[in-house]
Amino acid sequence: MKAEEVLKQYAAGERDFQRVNLRGQSFRGKELSGADFSEADIRGTNFKNANLTGTQFCKAKAGLQKRWVIVLLLVSWVISGLSGFASLLGGMAIALIFDSSERQQVFGWIVLVVIIVSIAVILGQGIERTVAVAGTVAVVGTVAGAGAVAVAGPESFAGAVAIAGAGAVAIAGVEAIAGVVAGTGAVAGTGAGAGTGAGAVAVAVAVAGAVAVAGAVAGAVAIPGAGAVAVAGAVAFVLLSIYLGWRTLKGDPRDAWIRSIAIAFAATRGTSFRKANLTDADFTGAILKSTDLREAIITCTCWRKTIKLDRARPGTSYLQYENIRQLLITGEGQDKNFERLNLRGINLKGTNLQDASFIGTDLNRA
């Protein structure tokens, strides 16, 4: 049903629009309070700035239209493939350990050590911390390297080590960024609704790209063992990217920013409720993946049994808190801690809050 027809019927007093197909329609800034869109297909529908007070969206299906899911998957696969190519940089650098040149060997060993340390920091503290550390080390290393080269000369062993160190940090930074890009692409693809199959194909593209280029390098470089090391290094970096994507999907707080970027990317062409008035609206049982809820008025809105609310873009509302989303979806908050949160306007009707703690929490208009 076209938006014009819905608005025409609404103006004539009709409020029942259950099970209608509204994919890709725009109701931006329109008055639709009290309408019933239960079980409607609202994928890609634009409700930005609309008045949806008391509107029913029970079991509605929000998110991306199929064509945009395909586009997003293609983009995520291309990103993953490019990241696979980028991962070869580290593998090729490490392969220089087998070079006949002493300077090249030093470079290869330093790259190996720096990358191992970077991976350890990624696994323990997250990619954001790794980039910060790498940036600091790069600045310090550049200053120290410049001093060493100035004193000993670029042809000396000390100068070579300094130059190699700076290069190693640069390569580690590239690998870290490649990991972020690949991980974000995989998360965005999965968040679009393609499921684990999308992630699997993204992984396959990345690995295939890395191994293909590594094979070409192995055939062109006549260094015993270099090809195998380049391939092993590339695959290792791709596996790290896979792990980052998996960890992000699991909601690991160390990679929360990657998840935020991926969700924002996936919601770009999804259903938009941005700045809409959703006071007293009912989303019971609705699918809300790839949905934009930023700056929406969600006072007394019902989120019971919603599906994939964690894949929606919540902005700064109470939906940004994972434990609050679970509370609203399940209605179970017994013995839970909800202290010092901004829950202004939250709908807790029918929720089990026995022995729950809300010390210091803003519950105004709840």
pLDDT in tens, 289-332: 999 999 999 999 999 999 999 989 999 999 999 999 999 999 99
Can you give the three-state secondary structure of 308-361, one letter per residue? Answer: CHHHCECCCCHHHCHHHHHHHHHCECCCCECCCCECCCCCCCCCECCCCECCCC
pLDDT in tens, 104-153: 787 778 777 777 777 777 777 766 665 555 555 555 554 544 444 444 44
pLDDT in tens, 209-252: 655 555 555 555 555 666 666 667 667 776 777 777 677 767 77
Contacts of 34 (CB under 8 A, 6+ apart): 15, 53, 54, 55
Token representation of residue 317: 């509302």
Judge contact between 36 and 56, C-beta under 8 A: yes
Query: Which pLDDT value is given to residue 153?
Result: 47
Between CA 100 and CA 160 the distance in angstroms is 15
Query: Which pLDDT value is given to residue 282?
Result: 98
Give the pLDDT band (50/70/90) at residue 12.
very high
Which ranges of 221-255 does DSSP label H, i.e. alpha helix?
226-249
Of 128, 361, 347, 131, nearest in space to 259 by CA: 128
pTM score of the predicted model: 0.75
Query: Which pLDDT value is given to residue 296?
Result: 97
Judge contact between 134 and 111, C-beta under 8 A: no
Query: Which pLDDT value is given to residue 100?
Result: 76
Contacts of 233 (CB under 8 A, 6+ apart): 87, 88, 90, 91, 92, 94, 95
| All domains in the chain, ordered by first residue | 1-63+271-366 (2.160.20.80), 66-264 (no CATH)
Give the pLDDT band (50/70/90) at residue 55.
very high
